[in-house]
Structure 1
Amino acid sequence: MKVAIASITKHGTETGRRLADTIPNADLYYMSKFRRGDEEEKGITLFDGSVRLILPDLFQKYDGIVLIISLGAVVRMIAPILKDKKTDPAVVVLDDRAEHAISVLSGHIGGANELTHKVAALTGARPVITTASDVQKTIPVDMFGREFGWKFEYDKYLTQAAAAVVNEEPILVVQESGETNWWKHDRKMPDHIRTASSVEEAIRTPHNAALVVTHRLIAEEELSGLRYPVVYRPKSIVIGIGCNRGTGIAEIEAVVNETLESLSFSKNSVKAIASIDLKKDEQGILELSGQNNWPFVTYKAEELNKAPMKEKSDTVYQYTGAYGVSEPAAFLASNGGEVVLHKKKSGNVTISVAIFREEK
């Protein structure tokens, strides 16, 4: 998170300087009349006039903003420049004596609650969080699974589902894949939150909202059997790739896209690409990995040969020293998970798909 810290008072400036030294990627702004002489050396920005004038620029440049200014003044200043909770930066207010750090804007999605706790820990302030799910120590619907890399893909009913959670209405967490240790609070999961292992099971179970964690593409008609569903994409799919030397990204990506579509799997749930170490410098795979932010892992031939394979190939062994590439690579990278597509050859590309096995 790239953070801006801004102050307009003498005491606030002292606090701001300490914070800027301890928060990574933090830039400090304060009024010129509090100049110390080391601002250029420390990369501190000085300003004259109202801080209101620089706020639109800070909103564009930073992920989080810590304002050492009174809460009322901050509310009035930021109100005209607010756009959307999915894009507005996190805003935290710290009082002039650093007694209270208050999460003001974008508490969940923007990370203001996390930033508030960080600022409080560094200054000794009391963190003030008013988000209902945090206060009640329950599931934050708009942040569910974020620490694992989950992203919601179907959020039409996000507001209704969040209201159902904080109002302690019957909630179903429908989990077909992904990490299972998502309950992070130091209290027992409340009785109104229950789990189901499939959408089919969830449809048969009474509930007021459903949080669906799955790598599968779900049609609207299937979702219509659920009340206020929100769909999350866990990082659960591992793709094993083998290809002829010099195969371009366009061909590899086309095969990946077609394969995932045929399996009705979401591309947003891809966890990694895997292959033999002979392909660690294969440009087409590296480009696909980089463009999609998918880790690319490789294995030695002897490692691949120890993995189960539905069909071994003497031809592949002749060229690589391994009896198979895509299938055993997918198996190993999925932590011994279920291989749902053992091997498919398309042009210059061979592909396999597995579902990552989570530790119990």
Structure 2
Amino acid sequence: MSVGVWLVRPAAEALGQRVAEAVGGEVVRPWLQEGRSREVFARLYPTRAQWVLIGTTGIAVRFLDGLMTDKRRDAAVVVLDEGAHFAVSLLCGHEGGANRLAYRVANAVNAVPIVTTASEAVRPLTLGVGCRLGARAEAIEACVKLALGTRDLGEVREVATVDLKAQERGLLEFCEWHGLPLRIFSRAALAARPWVTRPSAWVERHVGAVGVCEPCALLASARATLLVPKTTLNGVAVAVAQDSWEAA
């Protein structure tokens, strides 16, 4: 059952197609269906396990009114604004996979994933990861554990990397092993925020920014401070950032 990508307006057609391609979904155009949009959504909502609604959270809330029955059975919903700024996990974050879907949508359009479930809120650490081509998940895990030291992986909220590494199999496997979402930042975003303790000429030549792991870790949280600077092991580089209200 594919993800339904609901377009509130025809103006979002190009964005909807991009999202659908990224998440393996199918675009739904309510103006081609018989009946009012809200009635069409009510009819189609149970036919998908997950939905991406491209529009406002207000519209999504109104459409969902009366349709929700149980968090273990309801279809997950992510809301993406038409400007592609924020991908909001609105309904069934854990049980339905909306949290994971929000990251997939955000990575596809360079948006910010918004996750508000309590278990994520109490995890204060973000990991920035850079690695050589073909780095294995075991090597990434070893470097992560070295960087964390006495801290636990259970304290990590998300992993962040550069767009060049978005499909790196070892990194994807590591995130899958530990149930961690992977957030992707563009090379331009890293170049614009060069927060590094040890600039790398090699990284600058190949990536276009003076560093990967440190700026990624810091960009992943608006209120983060660098807890562990760039730590390297066997072709993997990891930095750890920690939420800090003083930095907000």
Instruction: Give the TM-score of the pair, scaled to structure 1.
Output: 0.36
Once the 2 structures are TM-superposed, how far is the Cα of residue 258 of structure 1 from its aligned partner?
2.5
Q: Which amino acid aligns with 1:149?
A: S
Deviations 1:258-301 (A, max 9, x none): 321x2x21211101111101000001111111121111011111
Aligned to 1:325: 212
Q: Which amino acid aligns with 2:128?
A: G
Instruction: Give the TM-score of the pair, scaled to structure 2.
Output: 0.51
Aligned to 2:225: 338
Aligned to 2:139: 251
Task: Pick from 280, 298, 302 the counterpart of residue 188 of structure 2.
Answer: 302
Matched, 1:238 2:208: no
Secondary structure of the residue that 1:149 maps to in structure 2? helix
After TM superposition, the structure 1 = structure 2 runs for residues 279-290 of structure 1, keeping only pairs within 5 Å, are 279-290=165-176
Once the 2 structures are TM-superposed, how far is the Cα of residue 314 of structure 1 from its aligned partner?
1.6
Deviations 1:325-353 (A, max 9, x none): 00000010122411011211111101101
**Aligned equivalents of 1:149 and 1:25: distance in 2?**
17
Aligned to 2:21: none
Structure 2, unmatched stretches of 5+, are 1-66, 74-115
Distance 1:296 1:22, change over 3 A: closer
Matched, 1:265 2:151: yes
Q: Percent identity?
A: 27
Distance 1:297 1:25, change over 3 A: closer
Aligned to 2:177: 291
Once the 2 structures are TM-superposed, how far is the Cα of residue 255 of structure 1 from its aligned partner?
1.4
**Aligned equivalents of 1:350 and 1:293: distance in 2?**
20
**Aligned equivalents of 2:163 and 2:142: distance in 1?**
23
Secondary structure of the residue that 1:304 maps to in structure 2? helix
Contact persistence 1:334–1:357 (CA under 8 A): no
**Aligned equivalents of 1:25 and 1:337: distance in 2?**
33
Contact persistence 2:144–2:238 (CA under 8 A): yes
Distance 1:21 1:272, change over 3 A: closer
Greater RCO (Cα-Cα under 8 Å, separation 6 or more): 2
The structure in which a higher percent of residues are helix is 2
Once the 2 structures are TM-superposed, how far is the Cα of residue 23 of structure 1 from its aligned partner?
3.9
Deviations 1:73-127 (A, max 9, x none): xxxxxxxxxxxxxxxxxxxxxxxxxxxxxxxxxxxxxxxxxxxxxxxxxxxxxxx
Distance 1:23 1:252, change over 3 A: closer
**Aligned equivalents of 1:313 and 1:21: distance in 2?**
51
Larger radius of gyration: 1
**Aligned equivalents of 1:21 and 1:276: distance in 2?**
37
Distance 1:21 1:327, change over 3 A: closer
Query: Deviating runs (4+, > 6 A) in structure 1?
Result: none
Secondary structure of the residue that 2:159 maps to in structure 1? strand
Q: How many residues align?
A: 139
**Aligned equivalents of 2:146 and 2:68: distance in 1?**
49
